[in-house]
């Protein structure tokens, strides 16, 4: 099975695109809702929490795990790839969402870019570094958006508070660089309030979300790596796990755009020793 990990429900928006793009591949999703949000945690906390999630998905038999969370991708992915996989899981792979999105920006767009993301993603400078590698002449402006993930997970997608925060963050971004032509929603939760962002941004700015980008890049990756593809079950099974005991199926279904049922699990036994 293909594993999809997120700190909460945002990764379901990516999973939906993956399931549509690769409908036969079986998937198992894990949302670490009990510890969400990750975006205001320390780098070490994010690494430890993400690694527990990855270990769980490996235990389910996943040869490949996608970190469908920008915060986890920016703060934990490289360390997992460099320190953990070669020693413990040399035949497994973990991929993130930052590289695919950065490649997409480089391939499709030519102009100044704005990034809206969680505080941890912005703190990591991951997007600025990746875009600089691919397109050194591209200007990247970044704004951290604390509070949005919590409101989205609570289902307050069009609340007055959500609109006020989005207005504040988008105005800050435009003030930083009035020449911005493209804005990337660099958090997998944000597509759920795409219309709120769209309303607050000038019409000439192209607003980009990640779900279809990640799905397309994953398809390309599997086409290049047939040995990984061969290890993935292709019976279209869909499994969903969460670390919270609270029934959040209704909220989660908003992200996935279809009814889903979660199984509760604990990651305690995957604590790093």
Element (H, E) at 136: none
Number of structural domains (the chain) is 2
Check whether residue 206 and residue 123 sit in a common domain. yes
Residues 23 and 58 placed together within one structural domain of the fold: yes
Both 142 and 173 in one domain: the answer is: yes
Pair (76, 103) in one structural domain:
no
Same domain, residue pair 169 and 181? yes
Give the pLDDT confidence of 182-228 residue by residue, as tens digits.
999 999 999 999 999 999 999 999 999 999 999 999 999 999 999 99
List active site positions: 69, 187
Q: Are residues 176 and 106 in the same domain?
A: yes
21 pLDDT above the threshold of 60:
yes
User: Are 170 and 226 within one domain?
Assistant: no
Looking at the fold, whether 139 and 265 belong to one and the same domain comes out as: no
- 34: domain CATH number is 3.40.50.1860
Q: Are residues 243 and 146 in the same domain?
A: no
Residues 147 and 195 in one domain: yes
Domain assignment of residue 188, given as a range: 98-210
Enter the pTM of the model. 0.95
159 and 224 in a single domain? The answer is no
Q: Which residues make Cβ contacts (< 8 Å) with residue 49, sequence separation at least 6?
A: 7, 32, 35, 38, 41, 72
> Could you count the other beta carbons within 10 Å of the beta carbon of residue 251?
18
pLDDT tens per residue, range 30-47: 999 999 999 999 999 999
Can you tell me the distance from the alpha carbon of 43 to that of 48, in angstroms, rounded to the nearest whole number?
Answer: 9
């Amino acid at each position: 099975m293909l594993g999809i990990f997120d700190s909460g429900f945002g990764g379901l928006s990516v999973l939906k695109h993956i399931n549509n793009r690769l409908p036969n591949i079986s998937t198992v999703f894990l949302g670490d809702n009990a510890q969400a949000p990750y975006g205001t945690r320390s780098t070490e906390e994010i690494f430890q929490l993400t690694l527990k999630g990855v270990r769980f998905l490996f235990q389910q038999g996943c040869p490949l795990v996608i970190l469908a969370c920008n915060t986890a991708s920016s703060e934990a992915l490289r360390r997992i790839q460099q320190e953990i996989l070669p020693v413990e899981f040399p035949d497994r792979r973990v991929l993130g969402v930052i590289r695919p999105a950065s490649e997409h920006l480089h391939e499709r767009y030519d102009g100044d870019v704005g990034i809206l993301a969680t505080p941890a993603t912005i703190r990591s400078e991951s997007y600025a570094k990746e875009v600089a590698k691919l397109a050194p002449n591209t200007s990247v402006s970044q704004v951290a958006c604390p509070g949005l993930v919590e409101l989205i997970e609570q289902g307050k997608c069009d609340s007055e508070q959500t609109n006020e925060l989005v207005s504040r963050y988008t105005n800050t971004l435009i003030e930083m660089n009035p020449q911005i032509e493209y804005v990337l929603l660099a958090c997998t939760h944000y597509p759920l309030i795409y219309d709120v962002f769209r309303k607050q941004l000038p019409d000439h700015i192209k607003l980009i979300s990640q779900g279809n980008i990640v799905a397309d890049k994953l398809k390309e990756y599997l086409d290049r790596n047939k040995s990984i593809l061969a290890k993935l079950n292709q019976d279209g099974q869909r499994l969903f796990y969460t670390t919270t005991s609270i029934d959040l199926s209704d909220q989660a279904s908003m992200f996935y755009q279809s009814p889903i049922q979660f199984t509760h699990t604990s990651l305690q036994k995957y604590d790093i020793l």
